[in-house]
Amino acid sequence: MSYKCWCVSGAVATAAIAFILAGPSTGVAQETAAGCPAEPQAFHKCALEKARTFNPPRLPDGTPDFRGFWDSLTNGAPWDFEPRKGEPPLAPPSTGLRVDGTDRKIPYQPRALAERNAVASKKFDDGAVHCARMTIPRTNITYGNRPFQITQPPGYVVFLYENYHDYSIVPLDRLPHLPESIKLWHPHGVARWEGNTLVVDSANFNGKQWMDQSGNFQTEHTHIVERYTMVDRDTIHFEATIDDPTIYTQPWTIAFALIRNKEEGHYILEYACHEGERDLEHYTEEHGKGQSDKFTEPITKE
């Protein structure tokens, strides 16, 4: 029996209507962060310099206090990590997130670039539209007015995402990664402190997810190291180095600002989404014939 997802609660329906009326949001709309330009390459250079002299608020154990709700400042990155002209009004233009390359393009090997180009139009192969858990660093790119929350219970850093009830519980005990044979929708992360910087090392990807809506994919061999550094009390410099020798010619790094959401009484809304969502006619190549077989079992008719 086939099934569809009726995946909104009252709160989410209200949020969805607001999203439609307001247009696509890519986190917070501002041109600067912590006195630095918001554009990723300029922010990366400026923010790291500022972070050298900033003494962040601290928890009783002396580690930096990142607790709170955070929005990302990433312009059109939810739609594409690479530069693009945009498709108004749905997808805004983007300058790209890469900060260590001259053209800001992802350094794909030729075979992998051809694969990315081939799947880019097949939106139904994006795990997010099937309500599967999002991968990193996509989880940190907020849009549709949905910040994420960081909490810090003893020995852990916990990330709580509004999308799909997603979360990531990262231990600070320097445990090794899981065996390579174990593959996860949300990668296995282990964390450590390097001075005032939180470093999260993630592996054990399942290779079924995209990092954006343009087909920039991952494989089971992807390895990502994220770095969170507070620039001022309300700004985090987020950086992620992405490596995968099976599809890239070299590791590459993205960066952007995380801005504290200071709305009084803000909390994570209920966002329900049924895994295996099939009501995707608007994403298919032609009505009913573009269904992905990567995320659901074959449909059988009664």
User: pLDDT tier at 85 (50, 70, 90 boundaries)?
Assistant: confident
Is the pLDDT at 14 greater than 60? The verdict is no
> Residue 145: its pLDDT value, please?
67
Separation in Å, CA 50 to CA 36, 47, 213: 9, 5, 33
Q: What is the pLDDT of residues 249-289, one digit of tens each?
A: 999 999 999 999 999 998 888 777 766 665 555 555 554 44
Q: What is the pLDDT of residues 51-83, one digit of tens each?
A: 999 999 999 999 999 999 999 998 788 889 999
Q: What is the pLDDT of residues 158-180, one digit of tens each?
A: 999 987 778 999 999 878 999 99
Where in the chain are the domains?
10-283
Do 39 and 221 form a contact (C-beta atoms < 8 A)?
no
Phi, psi of 42 (to 5 degrees): -70, -40
> Residue 241: its pLDDT value, please?
98
What is the CA angle 87-25-216, rounded to 5? Answer: 60
Coil, strand or helix at 21: helix
- pLDDT above 90 covers a percentage of the chain that reads 59
Q: What is the pLDDT of residues 117-128, one digit of tens each?
A: 999 888 878 888
pTM here is 0.84
Choice between 282 and 100, residue whose per-residue pLDDT is larger = 100
Separation in Å, CA 219 to CA 21, 26, 222, 246: 36, 26, 5, 8
> Residue 17: its pLDDT value, please?
31
